[in-house]
Structure 1
Amino acid sequence: MANKGWSPNPAVNENIRLAKALLRDPGLMSALDRHGSTGALDGLIDRTSLNAVINGTNYFQFKTDKELFGEMLEHYNQLKGRFGRDLTVSDLRKLAGQSLTGDSPKDHLIQLAQEMFKRTNALNLASSGNRITQAMLRYLSR
């Protein structure tokens, strides 16, 4: 649509403008392209994905997997359990199951964990068994 020439039909011209604007914002395109339950890029933009972006409250829905891995690396010590040496999938699951608290730093971690569970492919890539190491997150966030 973005490559079409201008039309005498104003509705078509609005669609062309919209398509060009979307192509200028790859982050928005990526968010619109994500599958609602898995978070994987699926090549489809439909009403469900539009509504998810419009009504979404999770800051991380617009982030790429690489950016999520970087966020996890940055907050690694806060994400892992108090006594564990490594972050585990179980730690993330517990955190993702919590309700938002109104405490911004805590909610940031909860939403990060929730987004990782929406993106099962990314979670599987980051974890080895039940463990998620800093070395793996460092590698995936490059």
Structure 2
Amino acid sequence: MSEARLITIKSSLARQIQEPGGRTVREAERRASQEIEVHRAPAMAAIGRALEELDALVTEASPDSGARVYALASQIIDVGGYFDLGPLHEAVYSLCEIADRMMGQETWHWPSVEVHLRAARLILAEDCRSSRASENMLNGLRAVAARITQPTEVAAG
């Protein structure tokens, strides 16, 4: 019986990794951050336009606008996902949650949507930085979202 031999084949990638030089992980991360940062201004402008569309929907307060509210809030999260939006992310995520909950109801509680929209605008105006004011707004939005969780309170309120 012959003895089994193990043959190791090195790929070109394995050889390249072992060669000195190249970029460190830290350098690659720094360069990637710089490249993404170039797109911050257009992304913030797109978020601003989505907030304007949401404002128009709140003004209209049509029962058919619910799905559009969710879609626009999701769009903000998608566009902003590459950047640190700080408290704006939480505010808009909360808007997505309440929109999702209200889509299953007969009537919408538009003031809840409006409160989320106003908070998002204020946070965006502060360049998405965490502050005492933004934390207070987020606490208020959490209370609104908790209220939306209970459909009987929404219908009565």
TM-score of the pair, normalised by structure 2: 0.29
Task: Decide which structure has the larger Cα Rg and report it.
Answer: 2
TM, length-normalised to structure 1: 0.31
Q: Which has the higher helix share?
A: 2
